[in-house]
């Protein structure tokens, strides 16, 4: 018995020596994926139309093959790209569903979201996470930049544009799934206001799927002023804490988690006032999967860093159970 306990303790210590390096070098994965996006690796392989050798890829990207090899080796070991033979029988790199998410454009692109979260503006607040815990009520973003993320975005248009592009990535994933999984939500609607709709990409997908729908893209004036023209969608600037444009239904995605309870109540009241009489539809999609608990945990910490919000999953009175 005593020997078994010593062996278990030794195994735990041995595993800890390995696991700690995940945190010492934890930033590596994000940095390498950002590098892949900036170099345009996935775009180059997609344009080539077939597996690319290291020589072909380095020539196309205009970079030294030696560091590129290390990057590709890292990405392949994580299943982002895969190795296969080209038509000449030479080993090359090929796309995977995950690597296509790193393309700068395309139906499945998530590149803008990665570029946003790995940008210096968004990374710096993570270094103030302990200050956020000690001084409840002030987000790490405010500690790092002296103002909240929305004020910063208003005075820094380039960052605001990156946020809009990142949210458009999310829309390309969630909205088609929603259209496929619960189209009945839109039955009987002739108009829909997307509260905090950014550049209108969510409504662009929705009005294409439901052409009878009139979309109202509602966001802050400086946001909608740079939103593109979308057929069937009207851009309206305003303040959701003051009023929301009238429509048959209100749609919110990645909005309420940005705010505390009192602000959320105010937003929901304004949305209810905006919904036309006898319509009474209110949509708030939550994207979740059976194995999403680890991801949710990361997002909960993210809300501490960038904003002062909460998620519906959060219960501050519950102590997590020990892992088995």
Residues with catalytic function? 257
SS3 176: helix
d(CA 256, CA 217) in angstroms, rounded, equals 17
CB 173 within 8 A of CB 110: yes
By the 10 Å C-beta count (0-12 exposed, 13-18 middle, 19+ buried), 137 is classed as exposed
Q: Concatenated DSSP letters for 210-234?
A: STTPEEEEEE-HHHHTTPPP-TTEE
Question: How far, CA to CA in Å, does 170 sit from each of 31, 95, 241?
Answer: 21, 21, 24
Closest CA to 164 of 196, 138, 139, 209: 196
Taking the CB of residue 317, how many other CB atoms lie within 10 A of it? Answer: 4
| Contacts for 270 with CB less than 8 Å, ≥ 6 apart | 240, 241, 242, 243, 244
Q: Distance between alpha carbon 246 and the CA centroid of its chain, in Å?
A: 29
């Amino acid at each position: 018995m005593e020997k078994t306990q010593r062996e278990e303790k030794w195994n735990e210590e041995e595993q800890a020596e390995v696991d700690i390096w995940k945190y010492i070098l934890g930033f590596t994965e994000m940095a390498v994926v950002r590098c892949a996006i900036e170099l345009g690796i996935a775009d180059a392989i997609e344009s080539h139309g077939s597996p690319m050798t290291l020589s072909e890829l380095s020539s196309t990207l205009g970079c030294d093959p030696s560091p590129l090899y290390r990057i590709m080796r890292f990405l392949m070991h994580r299943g982002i790209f895969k190795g296969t033979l080209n038509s000449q029988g030479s080993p090359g790199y090929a796309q995977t569903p995950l690597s296509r998410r790193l393309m700068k454009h395309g139906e499945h692109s998530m590149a803008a979201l990665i570029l946003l979260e790995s940008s210096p503006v968004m990374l710096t607040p993570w270094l103030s996470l302990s200050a956020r815990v000690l001084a409840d009520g002030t987000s790490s973003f405010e500690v790092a930049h002296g103002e909240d993320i929305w004020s910063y975005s208003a005075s820094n248009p380039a960052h605001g544009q990156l946020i809009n592009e990142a949210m458009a990535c999310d829309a390309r994933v969630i909205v088609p799934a929603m259209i496929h999984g619960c189209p009945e939500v839109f039955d009987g609607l002739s108009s829909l206001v997307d509260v905090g709709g950014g550049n209108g990409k969510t409504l662009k997908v929705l009005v294409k799927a439901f052409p009878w729908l009139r979309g109202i893209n509602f966001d802050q004036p400086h946001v909608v002023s740079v939103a593109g023209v979308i057929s069937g969608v009207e851009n309206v600037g305003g303040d959701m804490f003051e009023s929301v444009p009238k429509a048959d239904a209100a749609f919110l995605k990645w909005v309420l988690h940005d705010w505390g309870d009192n602000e959320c109540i105010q937003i929901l009241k304004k949305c209810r006032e905006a919904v036309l009489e006898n319509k009474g539809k209110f949509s708030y999609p939550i994207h979740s999967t059976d194995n999403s608990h680890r991801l949710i945990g990361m997002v909960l910490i993210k809300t501490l860093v960038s904003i002062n919000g909460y998620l519906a999953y959060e219960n501050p009175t519950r102590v997590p159970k020990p892992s088995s």
